[in-house]
A and B are shown apart, each in its own frame.
Chain A
Amino acid sequence: MNLIQIDAQSWAKGIEKLKAVYRTFGPKKEKNDLEFKELQAGELPELHFQNTRMSPKALVYPQTQAMFTYSLDESREDCRILKEVKRDEKPQAAIGIRPCDALAFKLVQRNFDSREYQDVYWINAYEATTLVGLACDHPCSTCFCTSAGTGPFGEEGLDVLLIQQNDTLYAKAITQKGESLIQAAGWKSAAAKDAAGNMDALKTKAESEISAFVETDKLKQKKIMEIYEAPFWEAETFSCINCGTCTFVCPTCWCFDIQDETHGKSGVRMRNWDTCMSPLFTIHASGHNPREHKYERVRQRFMHKLKYYVDKYNDGIQCVGCGRCIRSCPVNIDIRKICNKMNSFDPQSCSCEVASS
């Protein structure tokens, strides 16, 4: 694929052109952090950052979303009949998304778009979205993407990859959607012949800067119940306060709640991100709770990402190594440590087994 070279001036011009065709999103300063927000006229996406505080999953899967509207007005013909909410069909583009966050869309697609059921909200939004990635030239210390299925220059899930070198940007179209976006932006100067080689060198350098890893090679071969009953869960998760932050910042957490919200005689059936860290998530109407204890909920989160998903799809872990949960957790619970424990756990050498035999 040809590399396109973009200088500062054509970058700014191109972004403005995109705004006419796409709702254009990019990292913007929010207090001390960066978040993905819609870019207004004249605004450019921030390109010098490590990553946004929240993952960009909300672009396709909003934290709160109206599914249906309804009326409870008895005098109306359509009283109590749910009506679909009109969806905004305008294409959208996310500029400056990190490769790990782009791969996350591919992972959650398995959940929202299965053979049996298609989640129309997620699928329509995903299809309307073009993902323009920004390669990481200086990964953070908590990033472990190279052992989680991608890397600082990873392309899977992206439509375009942007690479920064000094003040110049290089763009590589990965999909047809990406080609169309580059065309709409009017970026067309071919990069110099040696640019591709330079990019490869940058990639190798960035990859070598990754200092954190997870071991996942033995997760598949173990039995669910072996890891589930491992003795380390209570101790490892003891300090968790079940705040749910890890699930909300995560690009691959997809669980949601559905609630009816009525105002006067009309209302909306909404869906909202939910968290398996909350005891309300599973409590039965009888008061019985299958995951009554805190450690059981934390175990669910890790087992889901690192074992249930692995067994179900046979294609790696449900984690892209972005490191957000590690950076955001108030008590320093670290998925890398838990993953390695799960991977290396040997039920045969478990002390309780030895004691009972």
Chain B
Amino acid sequence: MQNPYLPYPVRIDQITVETEDKSLKTFKFVFINPDDEKRFAYKSGQFAELSVTGMGEIPIGIASSPTEKGFVKFTVFRTGKVTSYLHSMKQGEIMGIRGPLGNAFPWETLEGKNVVIIGGGFAFTTLRSSIITMLDPANRPKFKDIHVIYGARSPGMLLYKDELQAWAQRSDIHMNITVDGTDDPNWKFHKGFVPTITEKYAPPGNADTYAIVCGPPIMIKFTQPVLDNLGYSHDNIIMSLENRMKCGIGICGRCNIGKDLVCKDGPVFTLSQLNTMPKEY
């Protein structure tokens, strides 16, 4: 019997500081045993437990895309015990990852549809993964229009800046990048909060259009009525939750919302599903 708590050993291959306040770093991992990469076959929207030996494990969304081979990437916000220690780690050090865990965004449903990605703050990680997946030449024909609305406090707080720039040049994806405010005269994207930008630039809702919304609670709270006004049905609004977790495999009992376990039945739920569940997130 395989031990589901045993992480795959990985080496930190590269660390990128993402934001001007250095609170977010992207860690690129390479599997020490090459076969483990195949065992770790994942889909955009899933997460993993990052295991820092001696410190503990933390659930983190997978920021890389399955179309990117040879490594996996995670973007981590420095906040408590494990994340602070992880931020102090160096390239070449050994740690572990366990997964992939959770369901993914509903890719089968999304095929043939318009996809509107709405993200705020540092919850853009699995959204990055999704964009990379959909823009892969083998996948792009499977989707209709792709819209992205992504906001951060300031230009320096945006994740994946180079990629955002590159996507903004493309014609097969509609990028709406925004910041709460900036005095940078060269800023060429939007200014304003995500809900406002969504109201102005998101396509209207219909049966063929799905919105994936990930962000801080306040953003979600104000974006939802905007999507309602635009005619999005709650079946077509997809969200990803972040309850506190330990096992990540539905056994330790920590992350439940009603009868669903966020780690195993989620973290991705439609708003229709969430409407029938206690608001314990």
Asked if A276 is at the interface of the complex by the 8 Å CB criterion, the answer is: yes
Find out whether the CB atom of B9 lies under 8 angstroms from the CB atom of A81.
Answer: yes
Asked if B206 is at the interface of the complex by the 8 Å CB criterion, the answer is: no
Find out whether the CB atom of A68 lies under 8 angstroms from the CB atom of B6.
Answer: yes
**Contact of B258 (CB < 8 Å), options: A117, A224, A256:** A224
**Contact of B3 (CB < 8 Å), options: A84, A256, A262:** A84
A281 to B243, CA, bound (A): 10
A120 to B257, CA, bound (A): 26
Find out whether the CB atom of B258 lies under 8 angstroms from the CB atom of A228.
Answer: yes
Given known A-B contacts A112-B251, A290-B280, A308 and B259 have beta carbons under 8 A apart: yes
Find out whether the CB atom of B246 lies under 8 angstroms from the CB atom of A254.
Answer: no
Find out whether the CB atom of A118 lies under 8 angstroms from the CB atom of B276.
Answer: no
Find out whether the CB atom of A284 lies under 8 angstroms from the CB atom of B258.
Answer: no
Asked if B249 is at the interface of the complex by the 8 Å CB criterion, the answer is: yes
Complex contacts, B207 vs chain A, CB 8 Å: none
Find out whether the CB atom of A120 lies under 8 angstroms from the CB atom of B253.
Answer: no
Measured CB to CB, the nearest residue on chain A to B259 is A308
Residues 293-336 of A at the B interface (beta carbon under 8 Å): 296, 300, 303-304, 307-309, 311-312
**Contact of B94 (CB < 8 Å), options: A80, A120, A260, A271:** A80
Interface string of B6-38 (1 = CB under 8 A from A): 110100000000000000000000000000000
**Contact of B250 (CB < 8 Å), options: A116, A284, A300:** A116
Interface string of B60-95 (1 = CB under 8 A from A): 000000000000000000011001000000000111
For residue B251, give the distance in angstroms from its CB to the closest CB of chain A: 5
Asked if A2 is at the interface of the complex by the 8 Å CB criterion, the answer is: no
Asked if A351 is at the interface of the complex by the 8 Å CB criterion, the answer is: no
Find out whether the CB atom of B252 lies under 8 angstroms from the CB atom of A258.
Answer: yes
A111 to B53, CA, bound (A): 27
Find out whether the CB atom of B276 lies under 8 angstroms from the CB atom of A119.
Answer: no
Given known A-B contacts A260-B55, A296-B280, A118 and B4 have beta carbons under 8 A apart: yes
For residue B2, give the distance in angstroms from its CB to the closest CB of chain A: 8
Asked if B54 is at the interface of the complex by the 8 Å CB criterion, the answer is: yes
For residue A253, give the distance in angstroms from its CB to the closest CB of chain B: 8
A256 to B251, CA, bound (A): 8
Asked if B242 is at the interface of the complex by the 8 Å CB criterion, the answer is: yes
Asked if A352 is at the interface of the complex by the 8 Å CB criterion, the answer is: no
The interface size bin for chain B is 35 or more
Q: Is the interface of B mostly helix, strand, loop or mixed?
A: loop
Interface string of A65-78 (1 = CB under 8 A from B): 00110101000000
Measured CB to CB, the nearest residue on chain A to B241 is A290
Find out whether the CB atom of B278 lies under 8 angstroms from the CB atom of A114.
Answer: no
Asked if A79 is at the interface of the complex by the 8 Å CB criterion, the answer is: yes
**Contact of A82 (CB < 8 Å), options: B51, B244, B257:** B51
Asked if B140 is at the interface of the complex by the 8 Å CB criterion, the answer is: no
A304, A307, A308, most chain B CB atoms within 10 A: A308
Closest 3 CB pairs of A and B: A255-B253, A308-B259, A80-B53
For the A-B complex with A224-B276, A285-B79 known, give 8 more contacts whose Cβ atoms are closer than 8 Å. Answer: A81-B9, A81-B94, A120-B2, A256-B252, A260-B53, A269-B5, A285-B244, A290-B279
**Complex A-B: 27 CB contacts under 8 Å:** A80-B93, A80-B95, A82-B6, A84-B6, A114-B251, A117-B249, A118-B2, A120-B2, A120-B3, A225-B277, A228-B258, A228-B278, A254-B251, A255-B254, A256-B246, A257-B254, A258-B246, A260-B55, A262-B54, A267-B53, A284-B243, A284-B244, A286-B79, A300-B256, A307-B259, A308-B259, A309-B259
